[in-house]
Structure 1
Amino acid sequence: MALVPEGSLEHVEDEAFIIVKAAPRASQTYGETVCIAAIDHNGCWVRLYPVSFRDLSDAQQFGRWDRITYRWRKPTAAADRRVESRRVDQGSIVITGKMRDSDRHAFLNRAAVTSLKAEREKDRSLAVLRCEILEFWPERQSAEEMERQRAVYDGMRQQSDFFSQANLIPREACPFVFKYRYRDDDGVHVGTCQDWETEATFLRRRGEMHSEQAALDWMVQRFGVEFPRDGMALAMGTHRYRADQWLINGVLRMKPTNQMTML
């Protein structure tokens, strides 16, 4: 991975595979420019921002697992001290390929960790967490939060977005948040899943099943039973202003290494 000398603001070139984007929460600012979590060819996490999808050309509309090249510089320490953060020159973004389905599980397994405390001790703020999923459940959002979410999506309605081709962007505010209780090497934790894909999956299933309760039951079975049984990991990231608070940025399908060798 290309490195920037300490204190340098010069742009350097790098490449990475896009992994996940967290859903914006009641913020017009992050509705316009958002952070992207990606993994470089060395298996190291990088955080790419600010990316304005309204200003990306059609040829730059990247998706999950796309390989991109881009130029970046370190953000100022006052703006973001997290070592993975890359301030991107978004005009430099070029899609150069896509990771094959058959390579994705091994790629994630190489990056996976089992202790977020150990990652923080190494001054890291992004991780693929291999953990035991204990419970998955929905919680209904308050009317106030729903109104804030509607304002965010209304502001983004005219934007193109890199997950839109797969219908992964919610067309409306999701009335539920989805939570995991999970165990890693440090103990048991509870976190809210932040990515658009989970919320959009519920909204799509609710429409297909014509029943909110049936869709919720399906989500619990799929995300809380089938995914953990078949192999999954959590994409984790720390809060910008609370370095020891880890957030669930996304759900990743990841077959264990010993399972992969049997295929």
Structure 2
Amino acid sequence: MEQQTARKKYRELSRIDGWFAEEAAMLISLLDTVQRHNQIKGDLFEVGVHHGKSTLFFYHLLVGSEQLRVCDLFGNQGDNVSLSGSGDKQKFLANCARYIGDNSIKIFEKLSSELTVQEIGAGYRMFHVDGGHSFEEALADLELAAQAIREDGIIILDDPFRSEWPGVTEAAIEFLKNSPQVSPLVVGFNKLILVNHTCFDMYSTALDDQSNRTKHGLGFPWAYKKMALVGKDLRCFYMPTSLQNPSLKLRIYSFLKRWGVK
């Protein structure tokens, strides 16, 4: 999605309760642009929707006959063993009606561990994993995603290195060790992006282009570097230590950026 449109759509959804940063949306928008430039088409899938903040952003990435499918326990919170999120189906459906005018998104209301590729289909170009946060739950979702995406698609993992969710970190490392064909591409804004090694260069070249990052609002104050993870070349977005206690100048810049002033 073109960056101005992506930013506009994200800000239209800003009142929806959830944990989906604008920078994460813009990173996904950049990767969506790479897919579009390379004629990569396919459906999108999301595990864990809460009230639909990220879901409805993904909806706006759809082109033509592409579809968005989601999975969430919603009212079956007794099965939410890791207590990660608490999706509300009525709020989700109300947000769908409010922001996209219909409830056409296909919902699998069940444990994601019970999903199969035969049930949800394959050929996805994006698969967002934000469901159960235990090791077992996250690993099962990653393994499902790996089976369901196109070879040139991407897996987006939420909460990859949060101290309160160590199971997700353990699952990411275990998955990467057991999946030599998958490479960690980039981490930042509470997302870890994974891709097949055959298309790594296509995505990494776009990310390494500073003009692309700046265009998508991922330049200053964010720093960018490459570091090794499980023997692979990972791109990292991060806030430099010197900027973690922002100066007045940075606070003014952030305020103007938030309100779209250039």
* Interval of TM-score (by shorter of Structure 1 and Structure 2): under 0.3
TM-score (norm 2): 0.27
- Between Structure 1 and Structure 2, the one with more helix by share is 2
TM-score (norm 1): 0.27
Larger RCO, structures 1/2 (Cα 8 Å, 6+ apart): 1
